[in-house]
Structure 1
Amino acid sequence: MGKDKQGTIRIGIGGWTYEPWRGVFYPAGLAQKRELEHAGSKLTSIEVNGTYYGSQKPESFAKWHDETPEHFVFSLKAPRFATNRKVLAEAGQSIERFFTSGVMELKDKLGPINWQFMATKKFDAQDFEAFLKLLPASHEGRQLRHAVEVRHESFRHPDFIAMLSAYGVAPVVAGDAEYPQIADPTAPFVYARIMGTTEGEALGYSEAALDGWADRARGWAQGDVPEDLPLIGPKPEATPRDVYLYVISGHKVSNPQAAMALIERVKP
């Protein structure tokens, strides 16, 4: 990617099946089987949470692919069986099982995989590097992107940042959350989950807060590092990066509105 270009920004929410969105995000009377189609027409990505709890059928992935627009992307939460374990180096079979479970039916709509860890999981450099070595760079001829969502303060360490950079894995940026903030760009993409929507705001966030996240997304895409998100390691080279930003948790009923407002703000 040349310096005269910038990365692609994709913005969305977590999942698409949520009853309080009916009549708010989804038009009243819309058939539930058409909710993904509607979400795909308003958003540019969705993070799937169901894959964290258990396997989905290959037919489901193929159906999701077919019901969304051409450039839509799904990010998948990796199975908890791979990350919620004492010894991460032993996760090989769970990782392999995940990639052979049908996820590749998403084809070019398969976005990053989010490997989420429990808040009690501490940084063990040797074991965590062993885990990173297990993450495949590609599967069935398709390149894969990996992000790790770590939630313990011990990961705010320069050695962790250097390790992610070496393997081309991104840390999940936990925006407006109680979790530790790790915003160092270490991969060809940035993966952000912002969790600060509130009931008192029609769009979930204030106009100023939406402007702030839109500015950060554009900056990442252009190769900049947001000045208001401190780095743990050295400042990386200015390289355009793709951006995946999801409005998660918070006042969930407002998350689609926040995501759509951000999409409007980052349009060229």
Structure 2
Amino acid sequence: MAATRGTVRVGIGGWVFEPWRGTFYPNGLSQKRELEYAAERMGSIEINGTYYGSQKPESFAKWRAETPDDFVFSLKGSRYITNRRVLAEAAPSIEKFITGGLTELKDKLGPINWQFMATKKFDPADFEAFLKLLPKSQDGITLRHAVEVRHDSFRTPEFIALLREYGVAVITAVDSEYTQIADVTAPFVYARIMGTREAEPNGYSDADLDQWVVRARSWAKGEVPAGLETAGPAAKDSVPRDVFLYVISGDKVRNPHAAMALTQRLADEP
């Protein structure tokens, strides 16, 4: 029998953050065990360090070894690729990034987040040239790509059509000042929610957490959740999709608690 919905993985950005020590990580926990501790309590982590500089292949292999079998990492593409004026000229940098050891994560390699600055405007020809440069596989591992755009010029059906043509996800930013585009454009969904608050022990209120569970389940069934803004026509299919949902920014100290609360709610739901 075919699955009726995809797998939902909830996580946070990174795992090294000093204010989490004593608030999320127990006092006395060795820093070397922080990734292991976090990975046992949520389904994914977005690696931020890859945005700022190269990581050693040995690091990717180590992170893979320290996490549970069903754990998945996403990671950010290098800023030296996405912050350039002409994206069509990024081929050498993309090759360097893709061949730099990330496939050492093997079956734990999730989507790559290509994050663009808020000043980057939509240039259809140049952006399509960039999409053409993204490899579909490396070292026998299928690569999944997602783009995080933050300028309102991307809120157009032409952009959505391009992403669907190349099977690339648009990252949905919610509870923030960034442009929101919730269209389903790929075989998976990638969302970053940024509204955690210090006043809430779990970052979000119970009602907000319940709403995010409903939204995640809708995405997993291939639907677009109600209440989110889209830029193009609805997808022609509604097949199940895996969902990667990250609690990012906001009151960062609360983010692990929000991710754990969402993970628990998703596990409890039939």
TM-score (norm 1): 0.98
Moved more, 40-49 or 218-227: 218-227
What is the match of residue 241 of structure 2?
Answer: 241
Counterpart Cα distance in 1 of 2:226 and 2:195: 20
Counterpart Cα distance in 2 of 1:100 and 1:226: 36
Counterpart Cα distance in 1 of 2:61 and 2:265: 31
1:29-44 alignment to 2 at 5 Å? Answer: 29-44=28-43
Counterpart Cα distance in 2 of 1:230 and 1:182: 6
Counterpart Cα distance in 1 of 2:198 and 2:23: 14
Is 1:91 matched with 2:68? Answer: no
Moved more, 114-123 or 225-234: 225-234
What is the match of residue 81 of structure 1?
Answer: 80
What is the match of residue 113 of structure 2?
Answer: 114
Counterpart Cα distance in 2 of 1:44 and 1:182: 24
What is the match of residue 168 of structure 1?
Answer: 167
What is the match of residue 225 of structure 1?
Answer: 224
Code of the residue aligned with 1:20 in structure 2: it is: P
Residue ranges of structure 2 left out of the alignment (5+ in a row):
none
What is the match of residue 184 of structure 1?
Answer: 183
Code of the residue aligned with 2:116 in structure 1: it is: F
Conservation of the 8 A alpha-carbon contact between 2:103 and 2:109: yes
TM-score (norm 2): 0.97
Residue 248 of structure 1 and its aligned partner are, at CA, apart by 0.3
Conservation of the 8 A alpha-carbon contact between 2:222 and 2:238: yes
Deviations 1:236-255 (A, max 9, x none): 12111100000000100000
Counterpart Cα distance in 2 of 1:231 and 1:100: 34
Counterpart Cα distance in 2 of 1:210 and 1:58: 37
Q: Percent identity?
A: 69
What is the match of residue 253 of structure 2?
Answer: 253
What is the match of residue 200 of structure 1?
Answer: 199
What is the match of residue 13 of structure 1?
Answer: 12
- For the residue of structure 2 that corresponds to 1:112, the secondary structure is strand
The 4+ residue runs of structure 1 with deviation greater than 2 A are none
Counterpart Cα distance in 1 of 2:65 and 2:189: 26
Counterpart Cα distance in 2 of 1:235 and 1:102: 37
Code of the residue aligned with 1:203 in structure 2: it is: N
What is the match of residue 54 of structure 1?
Answer: 53
Residue 230 of structure 1 and its aligned partner are, at CA, apart by 2.9
Counterpart Cα distance in 2 of 1:128 and 1:145: 17
Moved more, 14-23 or 228-237: 228-237
- For the residue of structure 1 that corresponds to 2:209, the secondary structure is helix
Deviations 1:123-156 (A, max 9, x none): 0000000000000011111111000000000000
Residue 266 of structure 1 and its aligned partner are, at CA, apart by 1.2
Conservation of the 8 A alpha-carbon contact between 2:180 and 2:230: no
Code of the residue aligned with 1:175 in structure 2: it is: V
Moved more, 229-238 or 152-161: 229-238
Code of the residue aligned with 1:138 in structure 2: it is: S
- For the residue of structure 1 that corresponds to 2:22, the secondary structure is coil
